[in-house]
Amino acid sequence: MAGTGPEDVEKRTLPAFLDAQRASVLAIVADLAEDTLRTPVLPSGWTPLGMVKHLGFAERHWFGRIAAGSAGDLPWPGMPGAEEGREPFITGLPTDVVSGFYRDQCERSNAIVAATPLSAPPHGRHSGDPGACRVAGSATCAGSGHLDIARELTDSRTGLGQRSGARTARRMPNSGVPLQVHA
């Protein structure tokens, strides 16, 4: 029988929460044309595909490096961003490579959550931050919101992903982070 303590509940809840946010990210960009994925929408210059790549790196950093202590190899040669001169939130990588990278990092993150107690001390430069998994969730939520805005500015579509129709939200235990939305 599964534990019923606050950490047990949060540990079971976190992957579902993250997966819902990740699904929203992918739903927002799912049917965008290749040129739209690579076109900056806001003056800051980031592109929707660049944001998905960034979110993959956020998963890799917070779960791989900070929660597990090792980020693993990249699916392409060179440093992050080297293929396009390290400009933020853009990418010259093929769309399927970026999408695959994001999905792989999400799967790896879920495996790390399953294998690591939430109370485990983080690794690396964030060793004083006990909420590495929650930070990753916040990054995914923020990125999803940014993509929502870009999508609306691109083709006026809104409400894509599992957050659509939301009016109330339950909160993840002990974190204040929205868990799932209820219409």
pLDDT tens-place string over residues 61-90:
888 888 888 877 777 665 555 555 456 688
Which domains are present in the chain? 18-182 (1.20.120)
CA 162 to chain centre: 14
CA atoms within 13 A on the CB side of 3: 10
Predicted TM-score (pTM) of the model is: 0.80
pLDDT tens by residue, 4-55: 777 778 878 888 888 989 999 999 999 999 999 999 998 989 999 999 999 9
